[in-house]
Each structure stands twice: as C-alpha cells, then as structure tokens.
Amino acid sequence: MFAYYLDLALRSLRRNKALTALMVLAIALGIGASMTTLTVLHVLSGDPLPGRSGSLYYPQMDPRDMDGYKPQDDPPEQVTWIDGMALLHAKRARYQALMTGGAVPIQPANSAIDPFFEDARYTSADFFPMFDVPFLFGHGWNAADDGASAHVVVLSRKLNDKLFGGKDSTGQMLRVDDMAFRIVGVLDSWRPTPHFYDLYTGSYSSEEGVFVPLTTATDMKFTHNGSNDCWGKGQSDNMKTATCTWLQLWVQLDTPAEAAAYRKFLLNYSSEQKALGRFQRPPNVRLPDVMGWLDYNKVVPSDVHLQVWLAFGFLLVCLVNTVGLMLAKFLRRSGELGIRRALGASRRSLFAQLLTEAGVVGLVGGSGGLLLALLGLWLVRRQPSDYAALAYLDLPMLLATFAAAVVATLLAGLLPAWRACLIPPALQLKSN
Amino acid sequence: MSLQIKPILVALRRHKAGTLLIAVQIALTLAIVCNALFIIHQRLATLSERSGVDEANVFVIANQWAVDWTTQQIDAQVRADMLALRQLPGVRNAAPSTGYPLQGGGWDNFITMTPDQIKPTTDSAVYMGDEHLLDTLGLRLVAGRNFHSDEVLVMGTQQALVPPQVIVSKALAHRLFPDGSALGKSFYAMAASPSTIIGIVDPLHRQGASPWDKLHAGQSLIWPARPDDARGVFYIVRAKPGQLAAAMREAPKALYAQSRLRIIDPKDGIQDYAQIRHRVFDSDRGMAILMGIISAVLLAITAAGIVGLTSFWVGQRRKQIGIRRALGATRGDILGYFLTENLLIGIGGVLAGVVLAFGINLWMVSQFETARLSLAYVASGVVLLLLLGQGAVLAPAVRASHVSPVEATRSV
C-alpha cells in the first residue's frame, strides 16, 4: 500500500512543481539554519572528557579579607599559591593537580626555525593521569620532579612535529627561555572542548604546546597568562606570597562519598585558616564538577544561543508557511480525493496517502537542509573565532537533521491532511 | 471599498484555516524581523564607533623578547627601538604602549575619588606610554597639555607604579567631573596615591568592545610610563600619509637590525587598523550579516506563502468571481476585493506580531542583555509587512480580475 501512496505522492508533487519546490525550499532553509546553529551549540556545550568529567572537581574557597564583603558572594574562581600547595600536598583526592597558563620563548636548536613564543601549561604531575592525556612517546613527570623543580618538559604532538619532524624526541634537550629542558614525553593529539581546566586563556583555545612543572615555572619566573585577582596588598614580585588567586586546582574524586568528604575537608581547611587569621571571611567553599563549572562560567557565547533561537523562529515560520501551502495543495485536489473516497478508500487511507506526500516533501527538504547545514558549517569554520575549527557535523546530528525534517513536515501535514479528508465525496462528484 | 469589508469578512470565515495561517505567518515574521533589524542596527552602531586613532596611518607591532632581560636592559632596547623607528623615512612617530584602542581587551582599573572608597565610582581602560603616544595615535587633545619627557616613568614587569600625572578621555573626565572642571583634579585608580588630570583627549576608545566595555564606553586614561615589560611591549607606529604599507615593511627590518633577540609573530605580529578593526568586530559583523540574511529570506518565504495561498483561493473562487463580474462588478472591484482581503488579514497579523515582537524583546532583554526595542522599528516593520502582503497578493489578484464573466455559466 505504501508503494502506491508513494507513487501517488510523487505524481502529485510533480504536477505542481513551483508549489512543491517552494515547500521543499522552505523546509530545507528552516532545517539547514536550525541544524547549523544547533551543531555549533552542540559542539560548544559538549562534555570535554566524556566518561571522566563526572569525577573531576574544581575546589573553590574564599581567602579574601573583609573589604567589600557581602555574605552572598561567590568565592574567587581560582586559588592562591599557599592554598593550592596546601591542598596539593594534603593528597586527599585520588589525583590532584595545581596549574596555570603562560607563554614561553622557545629557542630551537635547528637554526632554520626562528625563536618563537609557545603557549605553555605550568602544572603538577597528576595533570596527565587525571585528565587521561594520551602520550605518543614517553610519559609525564612525577611528584619527585615537581619537588625538585626539575627542568623537564612535555611537548604537544603539533610542537614535536614542528621541532623534530614528528620523531620520538624524548631524552633530547630543548632550550626554553635560555635554559635547557629535558623532553620526557610527547602527547598524542588532545584537545578537550571546551578548554575546561583553564577558562582564562580562552574557553575554546587549543591545547598548549609545552607542559612544564609548576614549581619550575615559578622558580624561573616564566610569564603567566590568565586572570589574577588580588586584594589587600595585592600584586607583588613574589607570586608565592601575593594575596592573589591565580591558580587552578583540579581533583579527581571517584564516588559521591569521596566528594562529600572532600567538601568537608575544604570546610575544615577554611575554618582552620580563619582560626589562624589568614582567612577573614566565614568559610565559603564550592566543589563543582566539570559540567557544573562550565555552566557556572557560561562558557557558551550568548550570541550562539541567540542564533539558535533565531534559527528556530525561522524554522517555525517556514513550517507555518508549509502548512499553508500544503493546505492549498490538498484542498485543490478535492475532486481527486472525492473520487478515491467514492471508490471505497477510507478516510484513514486517504490520510495516510496525504501524509506520505508530506513525508516525501520532508525527506527531500531534509536532504536540502543537510546540504545547507554543511554549507553553513563551512561558513562558520571560516570565521576567525577560536571555536570555529570545531564546527563539524557528527553522525547523531546528521541523523537528527533528517528526523527533524521529516517529523516537522509530518506535523505540518497533519492539519491539511485532516481537512482534506473531511471532504464529502458525493459533493465533489456532483460538482464535477 | 469600505462597503466590501463585510462580505470579505463573511468569506474569510469560510477559510478560517488559511486566513489564520497567513496571519500567524505575518505575525511571526514581523516579530522576528523587527528584533533582527534592531540587533543589526545595534551591531552596526558598534562597528562604526570612533576609536580616536588616526586609523589610516597607524599600525601596531607586538614585540616580544626572545631572552630574559632586566628592566634596565629592556628600557635601553625600547629607547633604541623607538629612535630607529622614528628615523625611518615613512614614519611620522612611534611610541611604546601597554595596549591600543580596539585591541580586543586589556588592562582596566576601577576609579575612586578617595583612597579608602570601597565602591568604585567607575571603571577606566588604562594605557601607558611616553610623551610621543598622543601624536603617534593621532589623538585630539581638547584641553590641557601632553606629557613632558621628564614625567615619563620606567615601569618594569608587573610593577605597581602610579604616575602622578594622567591624561584622560573626555568621556571619563565628564563621568568623574560632570561640571566640566576635570582639568587639574585628581582621582585614584586602584592605587594609594592620586593621579592629577593634566590633559583631556577626545575620543579615546577602550581596548575592548565587550558588554563591560560598552557599559563604560569611551572611558580611558593614559599614564606617562614606558612599559618595559619582560613579556613584551606594543610598538605603536604612525606612518606619514600614504606611506603605511612601506612603513609596515620597513619597521620590522629596522627593529631586527637593532637586535635579533626579539620575536615578532610573522603571522599577526604587525597589524594595521583595518585588520585590528576587522578582528575586534568580527563577531558583531557576522551576527549582523546573519540577521540580515535570515530577515530577507523570511520576508521572501512569507511573500511566497501569501502568493501560494491567494492563488489557491483565486482558483477556488473563479466561479464566484465570474458571477460577480456578470452581475456588473468591474475588474477594479475584483482587484480591490483581494487587496482589501489581504490588508484585513495583514492587519490582524501585524497586531498579533507587534505584541509578539515586544514579548520576544522583553525575553531577550532578560536573556541576552540587549536593549529595549524602539517603537520606530516596530512601526517600520508593520509598514514593511503590510506592503509586502499587498505586493505578494497583487499577481494573483490581477489574475482574478481577468476572470471572464463567462466563467459564471460554466459547469453546475
């Protein structure tokens, strides 16, 4: 029966090409715009470390003085050196890493390459196992290297390709800011999106090229990029004692019970520091997980949300338009439908026939929408924003495009099909 | 024509679904297009903001150091670099700076009127540079004087120096001293010691174009200091008229001749103001273009929808039209009938659309911190859609008016 309906649908669609083309175009434009913006939103609001992000937490506490104190204040978004080191050495979590971002001058041994600045991450050793960072060659450093401020470095795959042509460079030396560093590892391609562990160097920035121990970086006074929030005496030459928050601390806690225990530990730590006089505000701690932290920081640009709403408004108008055109199309065929009814077709089969026609429009419109979405994403990728390169359609979104187009057109076809089925057969036959 | 309204309404009641669909489509289109045009206008207004810089002739070099130098070494190098740049034939002037207008974000400080004030009075973008910076950027001094060279301090990496003199933008001067008496007055910019206003420039854009910057639009200050930062210094260079391209080619050569121990990114280390403007306003321009395309396509689709449905109605009513023509109605009467019918549906649609447009705007104000929709946009949107409806219905209506009275006698 379906094959027959399909045949009828195709015949009918062919009969009035302009109207069919208009409906297909409306669906294609609406679906194309919606899927383009939705894909960008989907990419930007994705989970940076699927399967792992639920057990990674970002401890926050409030070490500030009472200047401008309001009880409902959120704690600062980063930690001080003193608190970060204290929590790092307390080792209350399975893994913990204290880190910040920066940029270092690289002086390649190969004189064909001019010196250049490279984005760097200064971190403690647990960064690599905690975030499950893949290694191409070698491995990360260990806690002993952190303690000794060892001159060791891990390179990204991209930087290793640039400096060593992609060969295993572990064991070789690299000059960083006039000092020799031993390469201990080379990462495989790794770009968590968003750049969740440090949102201050760009929410969607690519991964850093150089990783060195935080202790080494501070000893060598490597330049620090990102946010510095100071109070009291504020900034000083020695960032280790400055009353500034400038470091990110991440911990891995595998069960909710461990998370609860860690929160309690943070509270105790804050009370203890207050008793010692270092903290002045009442204990105010937070322990968001990765997705909670991204939500709190509203990492997805508001323009992206605005575009999604705009596109769906557009789709809605396109659908209303399609409903109108389908109504005209179906009612114009009253005569043909009346004859089919008179020949014994039930209302139900008429309804099925008309919805098949709507479905065909949806399918063709969906294909057009897919092409438009691919074109739209290509345009997005040509934008200079740092998330542009990520805008690719994945398989679920591709299937969703077709599903959305067909479902939307079927919904749009319901009212016209129902109205067309109400036509009394006798009247139509008589009037012709 | 007024006599026709009642029969039209009676006829429309028999086409409830179609009438309602056109009205809904007009309402949605009006609501979306009004808001889209409003957003386009706002973004374009941002795009055309004046920076105060002589943009046709100024370019910026992001100069970083390849080695770890002391502040004294950097200061000597910066002075030598400046001399070299100013001696270039195509260069009018050059100055080191911590940042530049439309950079895309940078240093800003809270401003207080007393040192122990807790809630800041306002916020100002902070630039640092020497006595050449004003001429290099091409800023217009509207009151007071420029810095003297002996007022320019040496500022090392992350050093918290507060120069006692400051030049402010007119917007900041007016915000702090609305009575116009800013010259010679002092304020505190997150520092224990005050800075006294010795000059006022107008305008001077902030480094950024974010909502925070828009909240403090045009509020900037310049401190007299050579920023000898180990992380790098921006060199602002003003070419002689018409010699921008040549100066941009010569400048890095002159700098590398001074010293090889620097890094100027070959990709985006040197940018003129066309590139700077492009970079900072790219998302605004993209959004405006997208909104424009969506609006145009929406209007086209709505017009096509009206054509489609009206054509169907004309086809359906050929017999009635024939009867009316046979009974003495002129072609003009038939044409007027369809135009009036469309106008009535259109008015219903735009009434709903106006309510929807303001509803959407209220929601956007709460979600995206946009401004309130102005009435002019809604009014022009209403006119636009009514005209669009009349234009779309014209072709089917003309076809209807050509239906011959003979149709009345066909069939039945």
* Residue B274 placed within a domain: no
B135-188: per-residue pLDDT in tens?
999 999 999 999 998 999 888 876 777 899 999 999 999 999 998 888 898 998
CB contact under 8 A, B282 and A302: no
Instruction: Report, as an integer, the average pLDDT of A397-407.
Output: 86
Chain B contact for A237, CB < 8 A? Answer: yes
CB contact under 8 A, B304 and A22: yes
pLDDT above 70 covers a percentage of chain A that reads 97
Interface of A with B in 90-109 (CB under 8 A): 103, 105, 107
Chain B contact for A328, CB < 8 A? Answer: yes
| Of B66, B265, B308, Cβ closest to residue A107 | B66
Same domain, B90 and B162: yes
* Residue B276 placed within a domain: no
pTM above 0.90, yes or no: no
Chain A residues whose CB is inside 8 A of the B367 CB are: 302, 305
* Residue B275 placed within a domain: no
In a mutagenesis test of the A interface, which of B297, B319, B360, B367 is the best target, namely the one with the most A β-carbons within 10 Å? B297
Same domain, B158 and B74: yes
CA distance B282 to chain A (A): 8
Same domain, B245 and B289: no
User: What is the tally of structural domains in chain B?
Assistant: 2
Same domain, B14 and B109: no
Residue B1: its pLDDT value, please? 46
Chain A residues whose CB is inside 8 A of the B290 CB are: 307, 310
Same domain, B254 and B301: no
CB contact under 8 A, B265 and A116: yes
Whether pLDDT at B88 is above 50: yes
Instruction: Report, as an integer, the average pLDDT of A163-184.
Output: 90
A133-147: per-residue pLDDT in tens?
999 999 999 999 999
* Residue B15 placed within a domain: yes
* Residue B55 placed within a domain: no
Q: Any idea where the domains of chain A sit in the sequence? A: 2-45+301-431, 55-296
Chain B contact for A403, CB < 8 A? Answer: no
CB contact under 8 A, B305 and A324: yes
* Residue B62 placed within a domain: no
Count contacts between A and B (CB, < 8 Å).
124
Same domain, B251 and B105: yes
CB contact under 8 A, A385 and B282: yes
Instruction: Report, as an integer, the average pLDDT of B325-329.
Output: 88
Same domain, B250 and B373: no
Q: Coil, strand or helix: which one is A352?
A: helix
* Residue B277 placed within a domain: no
Same domain, B96 and B226: yes
A187-210: per-residue pLDDT in tens?
998 888 888 888 887 777 777 899
Same domain, B346 and B404: yes
Chain A contact for B318, CB < 8 A? Answer: no
Instruction: Report, as an integer, the average pLDDT of B371-383.
Output: 87
Same domain, B336 and B394: yes
Residue B15: give the domain boundaries: 2-47+283-409
CA distance A419 to chain B (A): 9
Same domain, B251 and B297: no
Chain A residues whose CB is inside 8 A of the B118 CB are: 67-68
A144-160: per-residue pLDDT in tens?
999 999 999 999 999 99
CB contact under 8 A, A26 and B301: yes
Same domain, B87 and B26: no
